[in-house]
Structure 1
Amino acid sequence: MLMNYLKELECKMVHDHQKKDKMVTSILVQGPIIVGAGPSGLAAAACLKQKGIQSLILERANCLASMWQLKTYDRLKLHLPKQFCQLPLMPFPKGLPSYPTKQQFLSYLKAYANHFDINPIFGKQVVNAEFDLTCGVWRVKTQEIIMKKCIVIEYVCQWLIVASGENAEEVMPSIEGMEQFQGPILHTSLYKSGSMFCGKNVLVVGCGNSGMEVCLDLCNHNAHPSLVVRDTVHILPQQIFGKSTFGLSMWLLKWFSVHFVDQFLLLMSYFILGDTSQYGIQRPKIGPLELKNLYGKTPVLDVGTVAQIKTGKIKVCKGIKRLAHNAVEFVDGKVENFDAIILATGYKSNVPSWLKGSDMFSEKDGFPRKPFPNGWKGEKGLYAVGFTKRGLLGSSIDAKRIAEDIEHSWKALKAKPLA
């Protein structure tokens, strides 16, 4: 049996062979392989470590939590209170504010990795992962070009944990006339601060949490932002009665139905924020929590943007019809000039591009086919962490379940005598 063979070999044993301009290296790994060194991957590794199981994390970037470090704006804070964002087995340090800043969260993640002695292998882009039916193992291939030579490393393992995340790749919409627009068009992954747009007319496309917050940041830097609101959206106050709206909702759901809590949230939002339809922002007919449960669409938690919309400092626009030079034509026929366009159009999973031969993930959106809370486990030792559309709290739940499940098969394998 293959597992007997694996037990006889150390995980670092390497077999190399060279074909023309390609070097292929095979490495046997006794523990699970985790793809992605973001918060979800770290959480899974820590939970496994607690159970005495060493994992190997492969990360395409050259740092932990590359999304947070490289693709987020400066003013970013956690949108939920810290108690809902901490990873398993290690709370945030005392003294941090309720909503830690980007840098505070990154410091926490680095301390988390150090505490559990988690050492990802950086710069390893997974290009293919497939289950070998003959040998009963996963073959995970990374590829990089070094001195004009293609270096392929194949990692062989029993368990594969997909932690590459919901936000692996930017969503770049196709808008008529984009090539004609003379100003910069950039995704929020490249936006750092409104300081570079001082005095400029900026169009922000997308009205999720990022789009709303970028508009506020632009206001704070004396830019003139306009916000494209194409679809309906729920905007909720970040806090109600001095309590986190999210935390209050979770508490109310222990006692009341989703429909009742939704009605309460909408009533409070009306009193605190007013009727957003007056400013061109229509609410969906389905309540915010029900909409989240059914379609995974997250409501916006307002941090001050609505107040700026009310004053007129942030304009609300309809959907875009086309671009031309410095002008934008909207679907309602209005034409306005802009110096720059920022695309707050979100991200997507990239799992279907590299995970092959498995039907656990949908080809359409790259998420597990089974809805929460059952999407964490596939077949043949395949797992997913961080695809719940429920933030870091969902990642923590997944990580604990995965570690417990792998522990059972790990102990069973260790108990088997060598043939």
Structure 2
Amino acid sequence: MENLFRLVDQDQGFFQRKWTLVNGPLIVGAGPSGLATAACLREQGVPSVVLERAECIASLWQKRAYDRLKLHLPKQFCQLPKVPFPEDFPEYPTKKQFIEYLESYAKRFDINPKFNECVQSARYDETSGFWRVKTVRGSNKAEFEYICRWLVVATGENAESVVPDIDGLADFGGEVIHASEYKSGEKFKGQNVLVVGCGNSGMEVSLDLANHNASPSMVVRSSVSFII
């Protein structure tokens, strides 16, 4: 508490802002990693607060994943701590099944993230030993601040879309989308579609386009080996 007083003394406008002191770790992100962290902490009797910028858990899976997506590894390697996948789930659960599993997981451990709250900055105050995490919440973008001793960043490696800078792309007259915006090849039926990249997403998007009677072509930066 003495350290908190030091923090307040350093910031003259501290009490003019809305803030709260977190009694435990602050977790940023309500995807699989954030949920697993909160669950393990709860199992040890440690309270936590989970912040999520979207209005749902696992927003990457719910909002930015194509319809045909399945787990790329067998389910036993993808289950979260303490809770295995249901026995009747296939070896490679579908997108819908994985979301159901995550929602059930959050309910089981009584994890209730603060939705529609986007972190703007996080700064560690060495004098007080506290993290100061500033957010904006809701449609009115109200500013808020969390004070905590421990900060867990669980935003995932694919939280932001990365689109390469390609010469002439701005002059292209057709539609350009990132894989996170792709849902189904149905809308591209009968069209020529260029897929850039041959990772998991590129391969599956190309297959989905072909299954919907589009004509996909793929551009790959380096050589690719196929096992038949």
Amino acid at match of 2:74: P
Aligned-residue sequence identity (percent) comes to: 59
Query: 1:168-217: per-residue Cα shift (whole Å, max 9, x none)?
Result: 10011111111211110000111100000001110001110100000000
Name the CA shift for 1:115/1:201 in 2 (closer, same or farther; >3 Å). same
In the alignment, what sits opposite 2:136?
A: 143
> Does residue 159 of the first structure (1) align with residue 138 of the second (2)?
no
In the alignment, what sits opposite 1:207?
A: 198
Amino acid at match of 2:196: V
Shift of 1:2: 3.3
User: Is this contact kept in 2: 1:2–1:136, CA < 8 A?
Assistant: no
Name the CA shift for 1:94/1:146 in 2 (closer, same or farther; >3 Å). closer
Q: TM-score scaled to structure 1, two decimals?
A: 0.51
User: 1: CA distance between counterparts of 2:71 and 2:81?
Assistant: 17
Q: Which has the higher strand share?
A: 1
2:104 aligns with one of 111, 121, 130: 111
Q: Which runs of 5+ in 2 are unaligned?
A: 6-13
In the alignment, what sits opposite 2:126?
A: 133
In the alignment, what sits opposite 1:172?
A: 163
Query: 1:336-356: per-residue Cα shift (whole Å, max 9, x none)?
Result: xxxxxxxxxxxxxxxxxxxxx
In the alignment, what sits opposite 1:86?
A: 79
Larger radius of gyration: 1
User: Is this contact kept in 1: 2:4–2:128, CA < 8 A?
Assistant: no
User: 2: CA distance between counterparts of 1:145 and 1:36?
Assistant: 16
User: 1: CA distance between counterparts of 2:30 and 2:137?
Assistant: 18
User: Is this contact kept in 2: 1:128–1:140, CA < 8 A?
Assistant: yes
Name the CA shift for 1:227/1:56 in 2 (closer, same or farther; >3 Å). same
2:53 aligns with one of 60, 63, 66: 60
User: 1: CA distance between counterparts of 2:50 and 2:171?
Assistant: 43
Query: 1:267-315: per-residue Cα shift (whole Å, max 9, x none)?
Result: xx3xxx1xxxxxxxxxxxxxxxxxxxxxxxxxxxxxxxxxxxxxxxxxx
Amino acid at match of 2:2: L
In the alignment, what sits opposite 2:36?
A: 43
Shift of 1:234: 5.2
Amino acid at match of 1:43: A
Q: Report 1:388-403 matches (<5 A).
A: none
> Does residue 122 of the first structure (1) align with residue 115 of the second (2)?
yes
In the alignment, what sits opposite 1:186?
A: 177
- Equivalent residues, number: 220
Q: Which runs of 5+ in 1 are unaligned?
A: 6-14, 18-23, 236-268, 274-419
Amino acid at match of 1:136: G
